[in-house]
Structure 1
Amino acid sequence: MESMHGLKRTHDCDSLTEAALGEEVVLMGWVHRRRDHGGLIFIDLRDRRGLTQVVFAPEVDAGSHQKAHGLRSEYVVAVRGLVRRRPEGMENPKIRTGMIEVACRELRILARARTPAFPLDEDGEIAETLRLKYRYLDLRRPYMVEGLALRHRVCQAMRRYLNDRDFLEVETPVLTRSTPEGARDYLVPSRVNPGRFYALPQSPQLYKQILMVGGIERYYQIARCFRDEDLRADRQPEFTQLDMEMSFVEEEDVMALVEGLMAAVFEEALGVRLEPPFPRLSYGDAMDRYGTDRPDTRYSLELRDLTDVARGCGFKVFREAAAGGGVVKAVNAAGMGDLSRREIDELTDYVSAFGARGLAWVKIREDGSWQSPIAKFFTDGERAAMGERLGAAPGDILFFGADRAETVHRVLGELRAELARRRGLIPEGTFSFVWVTDFPLLEYDEDEGRYVAVHHPFTAPREEDVERLADAPAAARARAYDLVLNGVEIGGGSIRVHTPELQARLFEVLSIPAAEAAEKFGFLLAALEHGAPPHGGIAFGLDRLVMLMAGRETIRDVIAFPKTQKAQCLLAEAPSPVSMAQLAELYLKPGWKAG
């Protein structure tokens, strides 16, 4: 291969315009596409910023022209040449450099390349397993470059905003102790402490609270976190979050600062103007109206409660649900009365995965009458009351759920989202933020037979609900707040417990014995006893946020080297076996096999 010695890159492949006509330039990059037009050879030269057309002509430089016959896709080359105007009719106004070309005077082949596993000059679908295995090729595509460049701009904007507001960026440990309250920890054996293990942090929660006790007052970190949990499109075993904590604040202080942060990030990274303050919903309202605590407010299709109307109706399913402490709710799919029976059956199958035992429906005819297998079970008055509450009109179709509240909310919440997707009700390029507040502090876990924290055990209860911890723990509300964007939770935070007495009381309600609490969280409890300021914070899933900003369907498209849904890195073939000698050095039994 040839050396680039003596050649210095003068421009990138997206910067040359007609202003550079007549200049001699040096470009370096990859051969994106090659075209042989007989006497002339053209290549599109690509770097991460864009493309420039290079022409090889024998009358300009015979040696380069001859060498260009051997160029293939993805060869790495250096080109020295003269910028000239493209011939009339060959301009490409779709790209920044589309009015010019570079006539090559010198070509150096810096590296040859195998035929790529997939074409980089086409926009067709590529199997994700192939993309992840050959990630170094995938990263060359503008699709990936744009996502990573946006991620970079987001991180820079976050840092600038917080630095300007007196925050300190502080790194917290990656090797810490295991405190399994939620997802599973990734464990790391310690060679110098036989039989003991570190855990990779699920979040910097305890350390950032210690920073507040230490008087740092305003902390942030773009932190790597790890959770050994089942994966989805928006989850990875290792992920990145913007972590923040502040002393002497209440909920309104945190939320106002975050709204300013989001406005700054979107304007700087995307050129999008947001309009704080963002709307707010209580947890109860979000569940009642949308069936989820992560509501997508870009479209309506809200749930309406019909339990009181259905309590005495002739339809047994509704009547028994209402009488047995459940709920009857419905969604008016306005204007969707043209759904076919096949489509309704598909929707029924879809919601069955979320616990639905069926999907009752009613179409509203032009004369306002009901078309439905269940219409005969209701009186004229009941039909009128339901139609009025749902705002039903001719051409609408009503979908009902009758069961326990959590089941109905889950089913109808998923149904409204599916209807919006199918009917194109979700506006593209819009960003709809909403705060969800007043979460339950605790929920009862039937499998564990105890109360567990809805967020984490360091979240403070509302002051007026502290006494409820004794006799009605499930009724206590948390000083917690989640930020939801387009139906995806991007951030969650709370005001923390800052006194050892209240923290001990919470551990007691959570059925964590004092000895166990001291073992798992002793260093935090000891710190609280030394005078902790009231404090609170929030953490944002950076991967999810950038995914939504980029309009992508999966966070793997905005992470340079993601894992698969089986938590594997196809590029590096990780996780991988290790030698028996390595296991023995860590005092682990060699020769074990996974079941």
Structure 2
Amino acid sequence: MAESMTGLKRSHRCTEVSKTNIGETVTVMGWVQKSRNKGGIIFVDLRDRSGLLQIIFEESDCGAEYFKKAEKLRSEFVIAVVGKVTERAGSVNENLATGDIEVRATELRILSEAETPPFPIEEDSKTKEDLRLKYRYLDLRRPDIQKNLMLRSKVANITRQFLIEEGFLEIETPMLTKSTPEGARDYLVPSRVHPGNFYALPQSPQLFKQLLMCSGYDRYFQIARCFRDEDLRADRQPEFTQIDMELSFVDVDDVIDVNERLLKKLFKEVLDIDVALPIQRMTWQEAMDRFGSDKPDLRFGMELVDVTETVKDCEFVVFKGAIENGGSVRGINAKGQGAMPRKKIDALVSFAKDYGAKGLAYLAVNEDGTYKSSFAKFMKEEELKALVEKMDGESGDLLLFAADKNKVVYDVLGALRVHLAEQLELLDKNEYKFLWVTEFPLLEYSEEQGRYMAMHHPFTMPMEEDIPLIDTEPGKVRAKAYDIVLNGTELGGGSVRIFQNHVQEKMFEALGFTKEQAYDRFGFLLNAFKYGVPPHAGLAYGLDRLVMLMAKEDSIRDVIAFPKVKDASCLMTDAPNIVDDIQLDELMIEIKKKSEE
């Protein structure tokens, strides 16, 4: 039966007890990790968020009543213990912070009993994730998950302190706002007071933070909850947290400077890692040409090589056709992988097809200098030799080629180099390679929509020298946009914003909006701009992604307290779920049943 803790007050968390407390009486509380009855002496490992502490129950210390109670202890019971700190009688446990001491109990209260959990509460659990997420409140007791969430709290706290010291004001923006469908899908919230009308949950505080700059707040930040109704991946959730900021009277270098210093402080204080400043910068075009990705992982080489000129006169129809259609031929060199079995090469071809390739051409340079290739018979000896030379190929190398439109080639080889690096174990989680990617294209053409779309959002400033191209060659316009990338993951992105009316109008024209449509969607921002708007710029980090990389985890679910699964549902609460008809009636909403085929 559960007891009260009346009259007891916890004096220490488990690992706050140390050798300096030997001889003192302490009161500790927590969960039973393990209980071992050795006959006449009971060893209990007590756990709280700080770690483990060994408790010893002996009848001579605690008396018959408490000893009898101690015999009942099972895993996950919640207990309070009063006892004396002593030097550990047995051998010291080097793996525990409290491995050189123990507490000899004089009093025990069982605050709460526990059923046997559906899986062990232990680090590096092998239990299936679905089961752990169903019982997330138990999963959150695991020391590794608790360390992650404590690390997350520390990152948020240091960020907040740093930005306040840099003159930023923390200001909250609304959760219930207007839907502006330009980008990912909005989560919609029906209004009871305005039947048939909907709020949207914010995908980001973008428009509001720009309004705050119009209102003269100069530097704003917010650790903001954001929502996007999109398909999930390991580093995506339907609700997530941004470290969001906006600054007035600044340009690209000012935003980059403050954020480099923030990253340096975070990595030093949290992980004791020195981030060398300035962080390397690379234009979007260079990143695509060298790595096939706008978020390149710089921890390994295997860069893309453009061999279009080298093979342009060859008779291999795949290369020839791609070049004639305005595409390119590019390759990567998997050093030392020339002896890769055919079965594994076929698996790489299959992987490439998942990214839009029709196939993957390969050439292995044998140790004797001969070639094993899928296309060698279509090329002359000197052409093959020139190709291997261009690829910096040596004996034992495997050369892999994609030939298609540039976008497909980039996508395929960009993904393939990372896939190979994973297979070859080239990715070191203890290495942190930062990169700023700059000068993104302002617009990208959507075949689906039949128009240009903003690559970031419609308020991104073009490079000044490219503004005249908006009317004539919109696809060539570069943006004053920048992403911060770490180990192949985009940590955050931002841009200088358009603040001149004539540039904003040109942007809307390029996106296919009439003046009326632009005002219908963004009128409140455009009207605000009529009353004096400072040049401004900003950036937002995905806090979840940043913490995931700092904690060396593979999924952001491991650094979020209550995450959703791939279909955006919560296994623990069964959300989303049906609601009562009376609630729907109040909102004047009727559920339309899908007609059966």
- With the length of structure 2 as denominator, give the TM-score of the two structures: 0.98
Matched, 1:471 2:478: no
2:90 maps to what in 1? 88
1:379 maps to what in 2? 380
Matched, 1:222 2:231: no
- Aligned to 1:276, the other structure's residue is in SS state coil
Q: Give the distance between the partners of 2:294 and 2:195, measured in 1 at CA.
A: 44
Q: Which amino acid aligns with 1:66?
A: K
Indicate if the aligned counterparts of 1:299 and 1:425 stay in contact, CA closer than 8 A. Answer: yes
Give 1:594 shift. Answer: 5.7
Give 1:270 shift. Answer: 1.5
Q: Which amino acid aligns with 1:137?
A: L
Q: Give the distance between the partners of 2:191 and 2:407, measured in 1 at CA.
A: 44
Q: Give the distance between the partners of 2:447 and 2:135, measured in 1 at CA.
A: 45
1:256 maps to what in 2? 257
- Aligned to 1:185, the other structure's residue is in SS state coil
Give 1:162 shift. Answer: 0.7
- Aligned to 2:179, the other structure's residue is in SS state coil
Q: Which amino acid aligns with 2:119?
A: F
1:242 maps to what in 2? 243
For residues 522-533 of structure 1, the aligned pairs below 5 Å read 522-533=523-534
Q: Deviation per CA, 1:331-357, whole angstroms, max 9, x where unpaired?
A: 010111231111111111222111122
2:38 maps to what in 1? 37
Indicate if the aligned counterparts of 2:249 and 2:535 stay in contact, CA closer than 8 A. Answer: yes
Q: Give the distance between the partners of 2:381 and 2:388, measured in 1 at CA.
A: 10
Indicate if the aligned counterparts of 1:15 and 1:96 stay in contact, CA closer than 8 A. Answer: no
1:116 maps to what in 2? 117
Q: Give the distance between the partners of 1:441 and 1:495, measured in 2 at CA.
A: 12
1:63 maps to what in 2? 65
Q: Deviation per CA, 1:246-302, whole angstroms, max 9, x where unpaired?
A: 111111111111111110111112211101111111111111111111100110000
Give 1:380 shift. Answer: 2.8
Matched, 1:351 2:352: yes
Q: Give the distance between the partners of 1:122 and 1:446, measured in 2 at CA.
A: 48
For residues 34-433 of structure 1, the aligned pairs below 5 Å read 34-61=35-62, 62-89=64-91, 91-121=92-122, 123-433=124-434
- The RMSD of aligned alpha carbons is 1.2
- Aligned to 1:566, the other structure's residue is in SS state coil
Give 1:88 shift. Answer: 3.5
Give 1:85 shift. Answer: 1.6
Q: Which amino acid aligns with 1:67?
A: K
Indicate if the aligned counterparts of 1:310 and 1:322 stay in contact, CA closer than 8 A. Answer: no
- Aligned to 2:14, the other structure's residue is in SS state coil
Q: Give the distance between the partners of 1:336 and 1:59, measured in 2 at CA.
A: 68
Q: Which amino acid aligns with 2:431?
A: T
- Aligned to 1:245, the other structure's residue is in SS state strand
- Aligned to 1:33, the other structure's residue is in SS state strand
Give 1:315 shift. Answer: 1.3
1:9 maps to what in 2? 10
Q: Give the distance between the partners of 1:353 and 1:179, measured in 2 at CA.
A: 32
Q: Give the distance between the partners of 1:342 and 1:296, measured in 2 at CA.
A: 27
1:488 maps to what in 2? 489
Indicate if the aligned counterparts of 2:494 and 2:537 stay in contact, CA closer than 8 A. Answer: yes
Indicate if the aligned counterparts of 1:492 and 1:540 stay in contact, CA closer than 8 A. Answer: yes
Indicate if the aligned counterparts of 2:27 and 2:82 stay in contact, CA closer than 8 A. Answer: yes
Q: Deviation per CA, 1:175-227, whole angstroms, max 9, x where unpaired?
A: 11010101111111111122211111000000000011111110110000011
Give 1:20 shift. Answer: 1.6
Q: Which amino acid aligns with 1:510?
A: L
1:440 maps to what in 2? 441
Q: Give the distance between the partners of 2:394 and 2:284, measured in 1 at CA.
A: 30
- Aligned to 1:210, the other structure's residue is in SS state helix
Q: Give the distance between the partners of 1:409 and 1:535, measured in 2 at CA.
A: 33
Q: Percent identity over the alignment?
A: 51
Give 1:126 shift. Answer: 1.4
- Count how many residue pairs are aligned between Structure 1 and Structure 2: 593
Q: Which amino acid aligns with 1:182?
A: G
Q: Give the distance between the partners of 2:459 and 2:51, measured in 1 at CA.
A: 49
Q: Deviation per CA, 1:517-536, whole angstroms, max 9, x where unpaired?
A: 11110010001111111110
Which stretch of the first structure deviates more once superposed, 18-27 or 525-534? 18-27
- Aligned to 1:452, the other structure's residue is in SS state strand
2:583 maps to what in 1? 582
- Aligned to 1:317, the other structure's residue is in SS state helix
Q: Give the distance between the partners of 2:162 and 2:123, measured in 1 at CA.
A: 39
Q: Give the distance between the partners of 2:16 and 2:545, measured in 1 at CA.
A: 32
Q: Which amino acid aligns with 2:90?
A: E
Q: Give the distance between the partners of 2:88 and 2:219, measured in 1 at CA.
A: 56
- Aligned to 1:108, the other structure's residue is in SS state strand
2:510 maps to what in 1? 509
Q: Give the distance between the partners of 1:113 and 1:213, measured in 2 at CA.
A: 56
Give 1:122 shift. Answer: 6.0
Q: Which amino acid aligns with 1:79?
A: V
Distance 1:448 1:234, change over 3 A: same
Q: Give the distance between the partners of 2:90 and 2:524, measured in 1 at CA.
A: 74
Q: Which amino acid aligns with 2:135?
A: Y
Structure 2 portions without partners, runs of 5+: none
Q: Give the distance between the partners of 1:122 and 1:287, measured in 2 at CA.
A: 39
Distance 1:440 1:559, change over 3 A: same
Structure 1 portions without partners, runs of 5+: none
